[in-house]
Every structure is written in C-alpha cells, then in structure tokens.
Amino acid sequence: MNWSIYLPKYAIPWLFLSCATLGTEGEGDRNLPSAGVGPFRKLDGDELLGVPPFVFADSFAHYREPSALSLSETEPDVALYAVALKRTSTTEHDVFVRSRAYDGRSFYGSEGDSGHAPAVVLEPTLPWEADHIASPSALSYKGEVWLYYATPAGIALATSSDGLTFKKRDNPIFVRDAAVTWETDEPHAPSVALFPDGTLHLFYGSGGAIGEAISSDGVTFSRLDGDSSTAAIDPVLTPATDIAPSQLAAGQKPPFDTLRVDHPAALPRTTAAERLHVRVLYTGYRSGEGGTASAIGFAARYGDRGRLIRNNAPVFSVDKHEEAPTFFTWDGGAFLYVHHDAGPSSAPYPAVAGAFAPANGRLQKPLVFSDRP
Amino acid sequence: MGGASTADSADPSANYYNPAALASVRAIQISLGYFRVDHHLSINGQDNHVDPVKGVNVGMAVPGRVLGVPVAFGLALHLPDDRVSRVRALRQEQVRWELYDNRNQRLYLAANVAIRPVHWLEIGGGLSFMSSTRGRLDITGQANIFSTKDSTMRHEVDADLTSIRYPQFGIRAHLGKRGRVGLTYRGEFQLGLDLKARLDGNISSITTALYDLSTSSVNAFLPQQIALGGSYDVTARVRANVDLTWFNWSAYIPPVAKLDVVLDIPAPSGGWPAGITPPAQPASTNIVPINMSDRLVPHLGVEWHAVKERRLDLFVRGGYEFAKSPIPEQKGTTNYVDLDRHTASLGLGVAVRPRSSFYRGELKLDTHFQWSELVAHTTEKDEPSDFVGDFRASGRIINFGTTLTVGF
C-alpha cells in the first residue's frame, strides 16, 4: 500500500470531517406538558414595549381587575376588559374599557401607545348599579361577548355582538341568598366559564370564600354545593388553615391565603386523560406585619362539581398587592394578568401587570401596539 | 442480535458483553465503528427534542499466551461526538425522560483481561472508567447598588474532573461443540456533581451579604447488572442466542440536586429602607424517593450464515428484547417519564479474508438497524392542583450504525 497517496486523499479529509461534528447545546426540555397555570414569572423589559412588568397601565385611568378574552387558540391574540377610572372636572367613577394585543403584551392605548385610548364599553347607568361597577368577566358565548360584572346589588350581565357595544340586562342575575350562611356580603368578582357539556359555571367571591353556581342559559344560575357531605350549601374554596411558625418544617413557608380568598378566574380544560379539569386562579390574602398581603393561588378539581383543591405554593407573588388574576393559554404558553402597585412607593396606583408560564420560557420581542381596541 | 451476546462474542464487542469471551479471539482485532441513536419522544403529541446519542466506538482485542495458557487483553472506548459529558441537575418536579435524557451522553472507557485455563472455560474481567465533577466558585468584593459600574467583584473558579472506576466480570463455558453459556456482572456506577458557590461582600457600605450554596447530586447512575446468556448452533449456518439480564434499578438515585444554602444579609443600622425587602433563605430540597423496581430483560437473537466460503462470509442477524419500565407511575409531584419498550433489530455482516501480498487477515463489516417502540401511556395525576397535570407519553427510538473490524 502506498501510504503517501492514501493518507492525504482519505485520512486527512476524514480528520477534518470528524472535527466538524462540534457539540451543540443540549436539549430535551421542549414542549413539556403543563396544566397551563404557572408558576408564572413577571415579564421583563425585553418582552414589553412599556415599563415592565406592566402591559396595561395609565397613571390617571388606574386600569385594574382585568379579564382576558382569548381570540385565538394558536396565537396570543387577546382582548382585555378592565376597570378604569373616568374623571370629569367634577366627578369620577369607574367604567369598563376594552383593549387588545396581538402578542398578549402590547395593548392598545396603554402607556407608550400615544394617541390612542382604550374603548369605554360600559358605564354605571342603572339605579341599582349605584354608580359602581366592578370586576368584569368576559366570555365568548353564542357568537357574542357576554360580560358579567359586579354591582352593589349583585352580579349583572351585559351582552354584545361586537365586544364593544353592550346591552345590559334590566336586573342583576345573581344575588345573595340569605339561606347561605357563608355569603356574608353580596356575590362579587364573577368568573363565568363554559364547560364541555354546554353548561355555564359561575365562580364568585363572598364572605371571604369562593362559591359556584351553574346555568344552562347563562342567565339563571343555581348554586352548587362544594361539600355534599353536609346539608348546607358550601363554598368550593375557603381560606387555608394557618400554621403556627413553630409547626412549620425547615424551609416551609406559611400558607399565603389564610385570611380570605377572592377574585376567582376559572378556565376548564380536558386533560390528556380525557378528564374535565377545572382550573381556578384566585387572590389569596393573609395578615402580615405590614398589613394585609396578597398572592395569586391555584386551585382545581377533576369533574364538574365539588370542592377545589388548592396548591400550597402561590403561582405568582411579588409582594405589591397583586390581585384579580385572569389568564389564558395558547399553543405557546400561558399569560397571567393581575393588577398590582405601579409608580413610586410613596404614591402607588394600580396597573395591569403581565406574567408568563412556563417560567423558564422566553418570549420573542414584542410586536407593535395593536391597531384597534 | 437484540443484545443477546453474553455467550456469543468473539471480537472486541466482548469488552462490553462478556470480557471472558476475549479469550476466544484468535488474532489481534481492532474495530472502529460509528452509531447514532435518535430519540423521537413525545408528550401530549409534541416532540420533546431529546438529544441523540452518537459517536465513535473503538475496540481492541489482543490474544496471546502466558505460560502456555491462552490469555487476551481488550480495550473499548466510546467517544461521543457532540460532547464528552453532559451534566444536569433538574428540579424533581420538572418533566424529563429520565432514562434517555442525558444519562447516555458519556465517554466510556473499559479495559479487560481474559484467560482460558481449560479448553472449555473462559474467565475475564476488568474496569470501566468515568469521571465526576467537583467545582467551587468564589465571588468576593463590593457591590454598589446605586452605580453598578463602580462595583468591584473578584471571582475564583476551581473545578475537578475526578475519575471513578467500576468493575465487570465474565465467565463463559463451552458445552460440547455447539453450545455456550455465559454470565456477566457489571458493577454500579454513580457520577457525582458537587458544586459550591460562595458570595461574600459589601453592599454599598450599607450592609454585608453572605450567600453560601452547596449542591450535591448524582448526575448519572448505571445500576449493577447480571446477564445470563446461552448460545446454540442449531445448524452449521444458524445460531440462536438468548439472554436474561437483571438490572438493579431499585438502587437508582435520581439526578436531583440536594441544595443547602446559607444566606446572611444583616439589616443595616436603622433597619431596611422602605420598599426594600431582603431575600428570604431558600428552602432546602426535600427529595421524593423515586422507588424504581428491579427488572429482568429478556433478549433473543438469531444469526444466519447466508454465505460461508473460504474467502467470504455473509451474515444476517435479527433480534428482539422487551424492557419493562422500572419507573413507577408518576401520580405525585415528580415527573420521571419512562415507558415499556419493545425493540427489534436487524444486522448485516460481511467478512472477507484476502490473501494479497500486504494483508492476510480478516476484514469484517457489520451494520445494524434497531427500532424501539415505546408503549404509549397516559399518566393521571392524583392532585388536581398539580402544575403539570395529566400527560400522555409515547415515542420510538431508532438506532443505526456500522463497525469495521480488522483482524491481523
């Protein structure tokens, strides 16, 4: 064998070819399964056009109590209904506004989107609304947008064919039942979800707990019992039992929701095992050294009725009075919106902050602001 | 041959299957091969992009005699071509394909010796070598929280790759002219990953901060194994093999980091400024036992000598194995995903014995193709408030490769 011919002809190219197989970054973590409810991380500056982590903010309008209405299963195209403060020269009262973001982050009319303002879609006009409406909950139903909201008289409903112009029902659709002992105040903070069997389930706050009611038409609701072992109608979620510091295990944190639970946001789904999975995010409150503290929790159940089981860890906690969660999922992950303190600590105001799950996922650069509310 | 080779190796592959079989090698053999294993593993219908395992295999078997007794020496090396080693210590809640994720991305080196004290008995053994990692990171200095560019930090990194060894032994007996039985033991090994980080400094002359973190995990674990195999020449051209391998999976230690943290940031005189909340000390990890089960894995193999001439041999091989997953149902907080696996394999081989002026040995070229089908399974979580929820896992693994063996 003539090595002087074969060596440069075959061995040297083979050597170079071997060196070309350089290592790449390891994988194995793509498309991992998730219940779509976090834990969430707040959005950072590279992911937003405005001041992070806020997606919908205005120091005058004080956007708060958001409700997300997903407009696509594959894209984070979302409409956001929220409470805003409307000021005139003599009065101020809360109204509902609607905005939209094609990327789940760049909302029409938010700070930074100069020249635009979100559309005002609902104002308190009826006597029983007493000039106060709160906690919108938007639902896509029968080709319309149904907007449930809280009033001093109970939970009310308005419907719209275009999501912008709403027609109110003449009376509240769900009011306090004196026979239900734990409902010590008027039902509020509604969240209505369409279940796979076609029924609508209303989750609501009252008396520091969360209750549930069911309806076949979205107008007439009857209460569901969270605990069928008792004769009374029970809530589906109550505050956690407090644990004395001496009883906590090393590194264990006390429950975050021992004072009250409120502001449910329900989103059912069918799991890979074909089970109905009712997911509810909520605001949990506890008494702290500096007053009442809050965090966003997650509770759920399998099946169409019964008590919700809470996760011991909050899904979002930034210690800035975060409240009123709403969320939606799409193929790329899940967005959570809450309102919490914005602005200087000496004069904070509420604004809607965004968070994303999976927490180790990265979002692409934000798109331009939406061109319509 | 479906991995049924404990009693039937007569080339450098004996370094893995049964070191005792090295003693039956008649001439010096050097093998060079390449293989690639592609994982197509999905959860809820979406591919998780688990890395392939690929690389070069080099083997050597050198026979000889000591005091008239046949002996042999063998070496085997697997050199991955993407990375020599990959270490990961994930949270135990994170979903991962536990047995395929990165356990197999390792450099492997084994050295064996074998002896044939009597004509029907071969005994062999040796050591395999791997490396574990220890590292330390120290950061000290002054952090200026008001002007970060004025911060002065010094850091030191000290890392060691320390070698670990584990044993392997084999024995093989010839039963007449047609039959062979073999037994192989492979020891357990654990690759440790120990990391320490210490941050000690002064924050804008307001207070001091100490963050001392130490983490320890077993990043790769191979259980001890005992393989019992038989091989029988059914005819002059057909050979049938069967193996049964016991895997001690119950000793498995998952690659979850045990974390110990000391965080000490004393409050400045006058207390913390409004709006500043010092970070709390992270909780130490409470590792949930994985509770894997020992498994017996059967292997079957058949070789057909399609052409058997003086200068040329052609082989066709087929095999099958079934491996039941050792990982229990993941109904709780952990998410170690694994599935039962059926594997079918097909191999083609050609051996030529040229009698030219410059080479008179045997050249053998073997190629293999292996298809593993993972039995789809749906996991139902006990807790509805689980962050992962129910999931359905499925997948297949495709392995192909070729080996050139040169005998002298």
pLDDT tens digits, A74-128: 899 999 999 999 988 888 999 999 999 999 999 999 988 888 999 999 999 999 9
Strand order, beta sheet including A134-141 = A134-141, A144-151, A154-160, A167-168
pLDDT mean over A193-212? 97
Instruction: Give per-residue pLDDT as tens, B260-319.
Output: 777 777 777 777 665 566 666 666 667 888 899 999 999 999 999 999 998 999 999 999
Q: Which residue of A has its CA nearest to B379?
A: A273
pLDDT at site B133? 61
| Band of pLDDT at residue B89, cut at 50, 70 and 90 | low
pLDDT mean over A207-232? 95
pLDDT at site B169? 95
In CATH terms, the superfamily for domain B14-407 is Outer membrane protein transport protein (OMPP1/FadL/TodX) (2.40.160.60)
Closest CB from B46, B97, B384 relative to A28: B97
Closest CB from A28, A253, A278 relative to B49: A28
| Contact at CB, A273 and B46, closer than 8 angstroms | no
Any idea how long chain A is?
A: 373
Nearest partner of B108 among B220, B212, B258, judged by Cα: B220
Nearest partner of B74 among B94, B56, B59, judged by Cα: B59
CA A180 to centroid of chain Cα atoms: 28
pLDDT at site A294? 94
Q: Which residue of A has its CA nearest to B34?
A: A18
pLDDT at site B100? 85
| Contact at CB, A345 and B274, closer than 8 angstroms | yes
pLDDT at site A38? 80
Residue B141 scores a pLDDT above 70: no
pLDDT at site B159? 66
Mean of the per-residue pLDDT values of chain B: 86
Chain A residues whose beta carbon lies within 8 Å of the beta carbon of residue B388? 33-35
Tell me the C-alpha to C-alpha distance, in Å, between residue B267 and each of A137, B57, B133: 44, 59, 37
Testing the interface with A: which of B387, B388, B391, B397 to mutate, by most A Cβ within 10 A? B387
pLDDT at site B162? 67
| Helices and strands in chain A: count of H runs, count of E runs | 2, 21
- What does the alpha-carbon distance between residue A84 and residue A79 come to, in Å, rounded to a whole number? 15
**CATH fold for the domain made of A32-241+255-357:** Tachylectin-2; Chain A (2.115.10)
pLDDT at site B145? 57
- Per the structure block, which two tokens stand in for A352? 């809607």
- What does the alpha-carbon distance between residue A65 and residue A54 come to, in Å, rounded to a whole number? 13
| Band of pLDDT at residue B186, cut at 50, 70 and 90 | very high
Chain A residues whose beta carbon lies within 8 Å of the beta carbon of residue B104? none
Percent of chain B's residues with pLDDT above 70: 84
Instruction: Give per-residue pLDDT as tens, A322-332.
Output: 999 999 999 88
Residue B150 scores a pLDDT above 70: no
Query: Domains of chain A: which residue ranges?
Result: 32-241+255-357
| Interface list for chain A against chain B, based on CB atoms closer than 8 Å | 1, 18, 21, 23-24, 26-39, 250-253, 271-273, 275, 277-278, 298-302, 308-311, 315, 319, 345
